[in-house]
Amino acid sequence: MNYVIIGNAAAAVGTIEGIREVDKTGKITVISEENYHTYSRPLISYWLMGKVTDKNIYYRSPDFYEKNGVETMFGCRAVKIDTASKSVVLSDGNTIPYDKLMVATGSKPFVPPMNGMEKIASCHTFMSYDSVKAIRSEITEGSKVLIIGAGLIGLKAAEALNEYKADITVVDMADRILPSILDVRAGSIMQKHIESKGTKFILGTSVDEFSEHSAKLKNGATVDFDMVIIAVGVRPNTELVADAGGKVERGIICDLTQKTSLDDVYAAGDCTVSHDASSDTDKILALLPNAYMQGEVAGRNMAGVETRYVNAIPMNAIGFFGLHIITAGSYDGEEYVEENGNNYKKLVFKDGLLKGYILMGDVKRAGIYTSMIKERIDLKDVDMEMLKDRPQMMMFGKARREEKLGGIFR
């Protein structure tokens, strides 16, 4: 069997490990535009902070490809999938034949057209090892940085640059931060926390026009900068599949085995559309765990063992300046909220199930809540007071505890 993987991040690694769970010998080729051993994209901010070394940014050990019998083609760009001849065409014109193909192309930063952008002296995105290396080479103590976008990426960039004592301003069109994962209240607690560390926010407005070292905002204010970081969002890399005639909506459409609408072509990770089991809707779940697990499922299917990827839900674990957030599921339903200083808890119930939660500050044992959402555990079977108090196994009945924890020996 000849497996070809386009991409080299979490979904690709998941695919390799998924294939190798089943097929120890088939040929695997990884095609990657980036010229790096597989590295963890979320670690780039930690690298920039100096919390992760060059050695530790890698997602797998240096002998990963060798151990798994993977041939790598780094610095190669795939430009076309030829489903008729079952081959991938590279930018240099070479073709790589496949029996099973994985498209794990991820996403790219979305850079909206803005007036005067071309004049900006130093403009970056925040998505790749190369991008943070470029930022690192330019940043100096006291640099003025304008970050466009108060989402996960923009704020991770802010946290990292704070290590350089940069003067940071974050501008976002929305009137609150982290709208994708936090509600209004939690967003405001986090905003205050980040502000207390020195980062400034200008919300509810956007850039009217850039000049070389300053931006005029639509609300009339002007922000001077030495560097701009654009972090307004990402777009899935779906072109290869779309061009080959595969079904693509907001991302690549896959079935539960992660196969695309094209024969023998699979996809996983940020370039695909997932089914959110908590809200029963289709959406892009651009999360590393999701990417890995989709990749692993795809790998097993590619190697001939039918496996389904179910129970995916949106979830995030992230922290800014030492204040941690864990969230999961969807927020449509009856709410239970507790707040105490920087500790914030919101539980969302609907149809007799826990549907989603936000934990900020005290995030201990959040996974117990996550499992309740994923496994759709009936609230009738748990002690609600304990559930509200904190995540704990005690809230389940004895039978379920025994099943989960290994049970009584007798």
Partner 1 sequence: MKKVYVNEDWCLGCHLCEFTCAAANSGAPDMIKAFAGGKKPVARIQIEEGSAVNFAVQCRHCELHPCVKGCISGALSVKDGVIVCDEERCVGCYTCVLSCPYGAIVIDGAGHKIRKCDLCTQNSQGEPACVKACPNNAIVFEER
Q: Which residues lie near partner 1 (CB under 8 A)?
A: 14, 40, 42-43, 46, 51-52, 56, 58-61, 288-289, 292-293, 296, 315-319, 322, 324, 326, 328, 363-368, 370-371, 374-375, 391-394, 398, 401, 404-409
CB of 341 to partner 1, least distance (A): 15
Q: How far apart are CA 164 and CA 184, in angstroms?
A: 30
CA atoms within 13 A on the CB side of 240: 30
Nearest to 146 by CA among 126, 176, 130: 126
Distance in Å, CB of 143 to partner 1, minimum: 24
Looking at beta carbons only, is 54 or 138 nearer to partner 1?
Answer: 54
- Is the torsion defined by CA of 312, 318, 323, 324 positive or negative? positive
Angle at alpha carbon of residue 360, lines to 355 and 363, rounded to 5°: 80
CB of 400 to partner 1, least distance (A): 11
Q: What is the DSSP letter of 204?
A: S
Separation of alpha carbons 314 and 274, rounded Å: 10
Q: Based on CB atoms, which residue is closest to partner 1, 116 or 367?
A: 367
CB of 238 or CB of 274, closer to partner 1: 274
- The distance of closest approach from Cβ of residue 369 to partner 1 in the complex, given in angstroms and rounded to an integer, is 9
State in angstroms the smallest separation of the CB of 325 from partner 1. Answer: 9
What are the structure tokens assigned to 229, written together? 């970081």
Nearer to partner 1, 77 or 308 (CB): 308
- Kindly state the smallest distance separating residue 153's Cβ from partner 1, in Å: 14
Minimum gap (Å) between residue 2 Cβ and partner 1: 26
Q: 304-335 burial, b for 16+ CB within 10 Å, e for fewer? A: eeebebeebbbbbbbebeebbbbbbbbbebee
CB 140 to partner 1: min, Å: 25
**Which CB, 145 or 152, lies closer to partner 1?**
152
Confirm if 4 and 87 have CB atoms less than 8 A apart: no
Q: Contact 44/57 with Cβ under 8 angstroms?
A: yes
Closer to partner 1 by CB, 99 or 403: give it: 403
Q: Which CB atom, from 218 or from 404, has the smaller least distance to partner 1? A: 404
3-state secondary structure of 304: coil
Burial class from Cβ neighbours inside 10 Å (0-12, 13-18, 19+) for residue 397 reads exposed
Q: Are strands 214-217 and 100-103 parallel, antiparallel or unpaired?
A: unpaired
Residue 159 or 183 having the CB closest to partner 1: 159
| Sign of the dihedral through C-alpha 360, 366, 369, 374 | positive
